[in-house]
Amino acid sequence: MGDVATTRAPAVAGRFYPATRVEVERALAALYASNPEIAAQPALGAMCPHAGWMYSGALAARTLGAIRVPSRVVVLCPNHTGRGARVAVSMATAWRTPLGDVAVDRGLGALLLDELAVDPVRGAAADEIAHAREHAIEVLVPLLAVRQPALQLVPVVVAGLSPPECRRLGAAIARAWQRAALAPGDDVLLVASSDMNHFEDEVETRRRDTLALAALATGDADRLLDVVDGHDISMCGARPVAALLACAAALHAAPPTLVGYTTSAAVSGDTERVVGYAGAIVAARAGSQARELDPAP
């Protein structure tokens, strides 16, 4: 699905977030300073928004600031461009950011692809095409890197998977972690990149997002997708978030807790065409690595 790039170049620096090291460092300091003190709570995963930093950066920083960021982070995002594999695992050597290059954990990426072949998700492949112009992981990388200088990424773009495929993806991530002897929260974190409902007015956006967030709080991946699809909620990362919930379920983690919610209207003042943003955390559970994880039947 496309040649492996040595380094994945930034696609939206200077648009969604600043383009220079000095500007990025200044912006990150402000985003994290505007939130409560940085915490060391281990977490299995988090849902973070991925709009331009002016709109959702503070909530993303508040979410990531509430948890420990370990050295390995798997980041799932939706496919906004329509390009590349259905489950596209970046196997580039590194991702370039204004703060410097962030290494890709190609070994863990290969383990994930192995597990996706054991319990297949159609179209899972090592692929850079889906990542080349996609913003939804890129905007979160500096927010993660400033918290963890030794950061290694496993970037994964997820297209329109079915509910069973989302469950299989989440379970495959859990099995890959187990094969690598990585403890959720201590050694590895799963981040699902998603915004909430798009381009309704403020009242309707909040109504629809309330339904989606209530489903999210159950921890049930199928329930989330039933509500999002059934109520026509344009939550772009519903599939990545469903995979996060499935991974958490495979590791017997508790349902997620909401960190915060806002909309673009809080910044733009435009209440007629609004995007919702939410942050949530799935706490790590001690001993979740002890259970052998077999592919779903």
The string of pLDDT tens digits covering residues 60-97 is 999 999 999 999 999 999 999 999 999 999 999 999 99
pLDDT-derived band at 6 (thresholds 50, 70, 90) equals confident
Residues 252-280 have a mean pLDDT of 96
pLDDT of residue 285: 65
pLDDT-derived band at 38 (thresholds 50, 70, 90) equals confident
DSSP the chain: --PPPSEEPPSSBTTTB-SSHHHHHHHHHHHHHTSSPP----EEEEEE--S-IIIIIHHHHHHHHTS---SEEEEEEE-SS--S-SEEE---SEEEETTEEEEE-HHHHHHHHHHHHHTT-TTEEE-SHHHHT--TTGGGHHHHHTT-TT-EEEEEEE-S--HHHHHHHHHHHHHHHHHTTPPBTTTEEEEEE----EEE-HHHHHHHHHHHHHHHHTT-HHHHHHHHHHTT---TTHHHHHHHHHHHHHTTPPPPEEEEEEETHHHH---SSEEEEEEEEEE--TTTTSS--PPP-
pLDDT-derived band at 32 (thresholds 50, 70, 90) equals very high
- Whether the pLDDT of residue 113 is over 80: the answer is yes
pLDDT-derived band at 41 (thresholds 50, 70, 90) equals confident
pLDDT-derived band at 290 (thresholds 50, 70, 90) equals very low
Determine which of 30-39, 117-126, 166-175 has the lowest per-residue pLDDT on average.
30-39
- Whether the pLDDT of residue 297 is over 70: the answer is no
Q: What is the mean pLDDT of the chain?
A: 92
- Whether the pLDDT of residue 115 is over 70: the answer is yes
Task: Give the percent of the chain with pLDDT over 90.
Answer: 88
Task: Give the percent of the chain with pLDDT over 70.
Answer: 93
pLDDT-derived band at 214 (thresholds 50, 70, 90) equals very high
- Whether the pLDDT of residue 190 is over 80: the answer is yes
pLDDT-derived band at 145 (thresholds 50, 70, 90) equals very high
Residues 190-207 have a mean pLDDT of 96
Domains of the chain (ranges plus CATH)? 38-283 (3.40.830.10)
